[in-house]
């Protein structure tokens, strides 16, 4: 299957909407407490409030902005969903013991670092779709 040579702005709006839904469902499933669920659900709102005006000021196209927005949300899903139970246990323990720093699970840390790197490499590789 070949990649399309160009993705339209309308397509990016749809992709961003679907990415937002995937992110919200995944984060609701991944996070163990109401506080954690709320904090993760603010990311899309923050993206719209800070990313879009910043992109407009810097003169970025809508397609580029929605590309980064979608990639950032999906990167969180890729980083957290496979290690959700481990991360949830760490978050829950940290909320129960706010006075001490709870170390994150080693496998989770490696997974998050490797998957974030892979996502960033993928974002750079797929960048020509926007051109």
Q: CB neighbours (10 Å) of residue 39?
A: 13
pLDDT digits (tens, 9 = 90+) for 24-39: 999 888 877 787 778 8
For residue 3, pLDDT beyond 70? no
pLDDT digits (tens, 9 = 90+) for 61-77: 888 888 888 998 999 99
26 Cβ partners below 8 Å, 6+ apart? 76, 77, 80, 81
**Rg of the chain taking only CA atoms, in angstroms:** 17
Residue with tokens 């397509």, as numbered in its chain: 11
The whole model's pTM is what?
0.79
């Amino acid at each position: 299957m070949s990649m399309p040579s160009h993705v339209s702005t309308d397509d990016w709006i749809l992709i961003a909407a679907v990415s937002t839904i995937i992110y919200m469902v995944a984060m609701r499933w991944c996070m163990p407490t109401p506080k954690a669920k709320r904090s993760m659900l603010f990311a899309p709102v923050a993206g719209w409030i800070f990313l879009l005006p910043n992109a407009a000021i810097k003169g970025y196209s809508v397609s580029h902005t929605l590309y980064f927005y979608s990639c950032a949300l999906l990167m969180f899903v890729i980083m957290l969903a496979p290690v959700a139970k481990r991360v949830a246990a760490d978050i829950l323990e940290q909320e129960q013991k706010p006075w001490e720093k709870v170390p994150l699970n080693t496998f989770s840390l490696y997974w998050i670092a490797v998957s974030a790197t892979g996502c960033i490499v993928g974002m750079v590789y797929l960048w020509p779709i926007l051109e």
